[in-house]
A = this chain, B = another copy of it.
Amino acid sequence: MMNQEQKADVCRRLKKIEGQIRGIVKMIEDDRYCVDVLSQTRAISSAIRSVENLVMKQHLQTCVKHSMQSNDIDDQNEKIAEIMELFSKFRKG
């Protein structure tokens, strides 16, 4: 679905997040102030949201667009139901 460049970008972001999580483990072990820890976890949630936006964008621009241009109405209905579910679920957290 994603081309090599897009996959490399998403993986690079995920590996950075992995490093940030290890940083938080260290903050906990070092008894760092809770509010500073929360500031870091918030940065991670924000980074994950960026990854999700990228993946969603690729999904729309490849799978969904391809489905649009096919004449497969069942597949189109399925894609629409999936987007609806993503929209609804992602806002609930």
The chain A residues found within 8 Å of chain B, CB to CB, are 1-2, 7, 10-11, 14-15, 17-18, 21-22, 24-25, 28-29, 31, 33-35, 37-38, 41-42, 44-46, 48-49, 51-53, 55-61, 63-65, 67-69, 73, 76-77, 80, 82-84, 86-93
The 10 closest A-B pairs by CB, nearest first: A34-B59, A68-B68, A60-B80, A18-B21, A14-B25, A53-B88, A41-B52, A11-B25, A68-B76, A34-B55
The oligomer's copy count stands at: 4
Task: Closest B residue to A87 by CB, please name it.
Answer: B56
In the complex, the answer to whether B10 meets A28 with C-beta atoms within 8 Å is yes
Task: Closest B residue to A75 by CB, please name it.
Answer: B68
A-B contacts besides A1-B33, A41-B52, 18 pairs, CB < 8 Å:
A11-B25, A14-B21, A33-B63, A35-B86, A41-B51, A42-B52, A42-B89, A44-B48, A56-B84, A56-B87, A57-B84, A60-B80, A60-B84, A69-B73, A83-B83, A86-B87, A92-B92, A92-B93
